[in-house]
Amino acid sequence: MTDPIILWGGGVAATFGAVVGSFLNVVIHRMPRGESLSFPPSHCPRCAAGIRPWDNVPIISYLILRGRCRACSQPISPRYPLVEAAMAGLAAGTWLQFGPSIAFGVYFVFLAGLLAITFIDLDHKIIPDSLSLGGTVLGVAASFFTGVGWKASMAGALLGGGLLLAVALGYYALTRREGMGLGDAKLLAAIGAFLGWQAVLFTVFVSSVVGSVVGISVAVWQRSDLRFEVPYGPFLALGGVLYLFWGQPLITWYLSVLG
Ligand SMILES: [Zn+2]
């Protein structure tokens, strides 16, 4: 940790992560609407004024502008700097874990995709195929370079996709209602492709436990029944992140608790 290259690299990775986070805000806003990611340039969603480059510095501009648009003084959503800070933190963590390697690049892209999917699913209750299916293909291709290996990667994609597809079909057969979307199955396939089949079991376990706790809490809070829709994608993404950073130690700990 005291290695200066690792520390400096972490700072550079965090800065690059914040810049990519800024782009992810554009992806999150525009991709589900089918809009171009590059045109028109960034503008205030309230007054449509163009955002100048010096007002578009990740995290810092939000703080300097105190969360308000320079042109119309309307508040800017704190989600923008939040996404930037989250990607900065994930990038630094990936650097500390993998150092200068192809795996760093692969998992940087993987985490950026999960972050975009999380907020698109929260906003629109959809997961774009270009991210989930595109991620599955990329994950299998990347497995040759990350140490996961193509067999574990392919097995992960098939297990992840098949498992949730079976749950979705079973739920529909029992209730005639669509519970889990196919988007979730494609997302879990992508997580399996990037991390291997062991990660699929881990992610299903973590996401169902955390998802249940959050779902029940929200139901109690809103005094509603459990039939409201909580998007499941963010919990799958959380499981994937936890597995990437702490999967092996957590599995070892869990098995030791079981005895
Ligand atoms: Zn404005």
Q: How far is the CA of 247 from the centre of ligand 1 (A)?
A: 43
State in Å: Cα 61 to ligand 1 middle.
14
Under DSSP, the state recorded for 225 is: -
Tell me the CA–centroid distance for residue 219 and ligand 1, in Å. Answer: 36
Q: Looking at the predicted structure, is the pLDDT value of residue 246 above 90?
A: yes
Domain boundaries, given as residue ranges, for the chain: 1-100, 130-259
Q: For residue 230, is pLDDT > 80? A: no
Mean pLDDT across the stretch 213-229?
77
The alpha helices in the chain, defined as continuous H runs, are 4-30, 60-64, 79-98, 102-124, 129-146, 150-175, 182-195, 197-222, 233-258
Model-level pTM? 0.93
Model confidence pLDDT, tens digit, residues 25-55? 999 999 999 999 988 888 998 899 999 999 9
14, 89 contact by CB (below 8 A):
yes
CA of 119 to the centre of ligand 1 (A): 22
For residue 153, pLDDT over 70 is answered with yes
Going from the Cα of 244 to the center of ligand 1, the distance in angstroms, rounded, reads: 39
**CA–centroid distance, residue 56 to ligand 1 (Å):** 13
Sorted by sequence, the CB contacts under 8 Å of residue 92 that are 6+ apart come out as 10, 11, 13, 14, 17
CA of 34 to the centre of ligand 1 (A): 23
Evaluate if residue 179 carries a pLDDT over 70. no
Mean pLDDT of 120-128: 94
Report whether 67 contacts 59 (CB < 8 A). no
Q: How far apart are CA 164 and CA 145, in angstroms?
A: 27
pLDDT given at position 45: 85
Ligand 1 midpoint to CA 72 (Å): 4
C-alpha of residue 17 to centroid of ligand 1, in Å? 25
For ligand 1, the distance from its centroid to the CA atom of residue 89, given in whole angstroms, is 28
Q: What is the CA(51)–ligand 1 centre distance, in A?
A: 9
pLDDT at 178 over 80: no
Q: Is the pLDDT of residue 193 over 80?
A: yes
